[in-house]
Structure 1
Amino acid sequence: MHHFSLILVFLGLSCSNAIEDPEFFEIVVDRDHPEKVYEAFEQFKIRYQRKYKDAEENQKRMQNFIKSYNTVGRLNLKSNESGYTSTFGINKFSDLSSKEFQQRLSNIAPSQKFRSAMKKASPFLKRHKRQVDELPDSVDLRYEKVNGRYIVGSIVKDQGSCACCWGFAVTAVAEAVYAANIGPFTYLSEQELCDCATPGSLGCTGGDLVWGTEYIMGRGLAASSTYKWDEHRANKSGMCISEENKRVLKEDKFDYYFADRYNAEEEIMAMLVQWKSPVAASKSFFHLPGKEKREIENN
């Protein structure tokens, strides 16, 4: 039986370690063009269909927006001065406080049990220097094909208010590995992981990459077309209906490895080239605009 590997990058972070700015901040407005930030806020409300209940909430949200607006400006300036191509911008989270944003994310850090699993080392740890030198500078799986078929999906998924980032990350990796090694690309069910893969906790309160990976290894996974996503469903217990849905991804098809976070660049590139598989890792896109966010999520 063939086994295929999922690579997890352990950064020592839970999904909630995103933004830890103070709630009180200086509102900086361009004195020469003070109207710009207010126009940007009005455009934000139109684009994301924001309707606040009263003037007090509008003022609160505008202050949060200005904080995000200022942060985006600083990040873009720093990126430009450093010679990077990274672009930051306003997105749908820009009127949230840092506390509100973190409440949407996982508050579960990897336990000691899963830290011991780090001993399951990546097979790329002992690569020869010649092999490392032969790696390309970049790989974009969005344009990679196996047997004439693309192996990465084009739909950008959204977990909404449910802190199931861990399930979305694992599912995305499993989709690509499945498409590269087993069959045509199929969107798999994040909802099944969120409902069924946690050890007694609610999936929307957060989770761990290992939970989702080991669930797939033991139970397989249904397609998202049959076990559909509902951002509110996993706020309740006892919602798992895996037995009612056909296994698209069969159990016992995968193993997993942890990349060394201090040498992750070489390991990830080697894995992208050799296995055509992305990596599951915890990151925040608090200040990434839609275009940049899509590019990262699709990689």
Structure 2
Amino acid sequence: MELARANAMKIIMALTIVAVSLCLLIIPISVEPDRSQDIKLFEAYVTEYKKPYKFNRTEYERRFERFQRSLRKIDALNGLRMSEHSARYGVTEYSDMTEQEFLALNLHPDLPAHSERHHQCHYHHIHSAKRSRRASLILPMKHDWREKGVVTAIKSQGNCGACWAFSVVEVAESMFAISNKTLSALSIQEMIDCAGNNNFGCEGGDICSLLEWLVISKTRILPEANYPLTRITNVCKLQKKNVESQVGIQVSDFTCDNFVNAEEELLKELVTKGPVAAAVNALSWQNYLGGIIQFHCDGSFANLNHAVQIVGYDKTAEIPYYIVRNSWGSSFGDKGYLYIAIGNNLCGNNFIYITSSYIYLM
């Protein structure tokens, strides 16, 4: 009997050792498929986006590590989705960058410093005086200027940090189309090359500074065909002595204001005036694919780093949202657009619009 019990104990101990051994063997197996899958995703990513480091082993490994961090961040963000309409995140052309690299390439952390001096300018008071006269306006539940045929095609700023010029010129295009029933592409490159008033071409600028320069200098925004986009800062090609005789449109006035805790006023501007340019915080957009952004998008003034165009809104949706046009090409987000929830001052709070006074000389 004792012999049988001893043999049984030996068998149990042997099985325990085998089980422990199997667990130890399983550990690397459970991790390795993740890395293997990540490698396959990265190989496809490098090919799809034609990344230049494909044959540079050191850079390839460095970018792979950053790509893996993006994958983990994407998983975390998607895990917080509240509904099928919430923002979706996935691999984009920026997924092999750190946040710091993404910020340096596409965004401008010094934007608040550029904007600060405009907060108390006279244009702000013009806008504030007009608010009370529209207090009784009944807003439609949705409004989309794209459906009115007054928004030009999505453009890409590439590696040129001139989002400030893209957003202002896009608003000018739309405002002109609303007033004159003609939609024409205007020159962003002219603004990049020529705008003064503390604007620095592809190195950064400010939407209000640009508008102020356009009004004071009486410079006309030329047709894009007359001054094509190159996405690099060139020597200004305008003939200075003939600035006022150039063919184009002239901005005669504009408004800079913020809408903190006054988003209903912003909706009124969108409906009654047209699309607006907006200074926003776009740091969390690195891996955005579509859907409505509801969080992880700090809108404080100190963190503004990008400029976009807001072209409409939809309050009939399960999650009411703004329709935002970006300048990162049509492959970004939803064919170049993204959607931000209304009501929480998400992503930014500084908005401008151009009043509808132009000189049409095209």
* TM-score scaled by length of structure 2: 0.62
CA contact (8 A) 1:68 1:95 kept: yes
Q: Does 1:74 align with 2:51?
A: no
Hey, what does 1:152 align to over in structure 2? 151
Distance (whole Å) between structure 2 residues aligned to residue 173 and residue 251 of structure 1: 11
Q: RMSD of aligned C-alpha atoms?
A: 2.7
Name the count of aligned residue pairs: 253
Q: Does 1:86 align with 2:87?
A: yes
Hey, what does 2:159 align to over in structure 1? 161
Q: Does 1:138 align with 2:134?
A: no
CA shift in 2, pair 1:75/1:192, >3 Å: same
Hey, what does 2:337 align to over in structure 1? 295
Q: Tell me: higher relative CO, structure 1 or 2? Use CA pairs within 8 A at least 6 residues apart.
A: 1
Distance (whole Å) between structure 2 residues aligned to residue 191 and residue 36 of structure 1: 42
Deviates more, 1:173-182 or 1:196-205: 196-205
CA shift in 2, pair 1:283/1:222, >3 Å: farther
Secondary structure in 1 aligned to 2:288? coil
Identical columns (%): 24
Deviations 1:114-157 (A, max 9, x none): 222244534664367653xx32333222112xxxxx1011x221
Question: Aligned to 2:132, which of 119, 123, 126?
Answer: 126
1:1-299, aligned counterparts within 5 Å?
31=31, 34=34, 35-52=36-53, 53-78=55-80, 80-81=81-82, 84-104=85-105, 105-106=107-108, 107-108=110-111, 109-117=113-121, 118-122=124-128, 125-126=131-132, 130-131=136-137, 134-144=138-148, 150-153=149-152, 155-199=153-197, 202-217=200-215, 218-234=218-234, 239-243=235-239, 246-252=246-252, 254-263=253-262, 265-284=263-282, 285-289=285-289, 290-292=332-334, 294-296=336-338
> If each structure's strand is expressed as a fraction of its own residues, which one has the higher value?
2
CA contact (8 A) 2:187 2:224 kept: yes
Hey, what does 2:344 align to over in structure 1? none
Deviations 1:78-137 (A, max 9, x none): 2x2366432222221111222222222333433542222244534664367653xx3233
Deviation at 1:33, TM superposition (A): 5.0
Distance (whole Å) between structure 1 residues aligned to residue 41 and residue 130 of structure 2: 47
Secondary structure in 2 aligned to 1:81? coil
Distance (whole Å) between structure 2 residues aligned to residue 178 and residue 121 of structure 1: 20
Deviations 1:226-257 (A, max 9, x none): 211122235xxxx11233894321242x3224
Deviation at 1:277, TM superposition (A): 2.4
Deviation at 1:179, TM superposition (A): 0.7
CA contact (8 A) 1:139 1:269 kept: no
- 4+ residue runs over 4 A deviation: 30-33, 127-130
CA shift in 2, pair 1:185/1:143, >3 Å: same
Larger Rg: 2
Distance (whole Å) between structure 2 residues aligned to residue 167 and residue 207 of structure 1: 8
Secondary structure in 1 aligned to 2:97? coil
CA contact (8 A) 2:199 2:210 kept: no
Letter in 2 for 1:121: H
Deviation at 1:49, TM superposition (A): 0.5
Deviates more, 1:206-215 or 1:106-115: 106-115
**Structure 2: tracts of 5 or more residues without a match:** 1-29, 290-331, 340-362
Distance (whole Å) between structure 2 residues aligned to residue 241 and residue 48 of structure 1: 34
CA shift in 2, pair 1:143/1:112, >3 Å: closer
Distance (whole Å) between structure 2 residues aligned to residue 272 and residue 122 of structure 1: 15
* TM-score scaled by length of structure 1: 0.74
CA contact (8 A) 1:173 1:280 kept: no
Hey, what does 1:23 align to over in structure 2? none
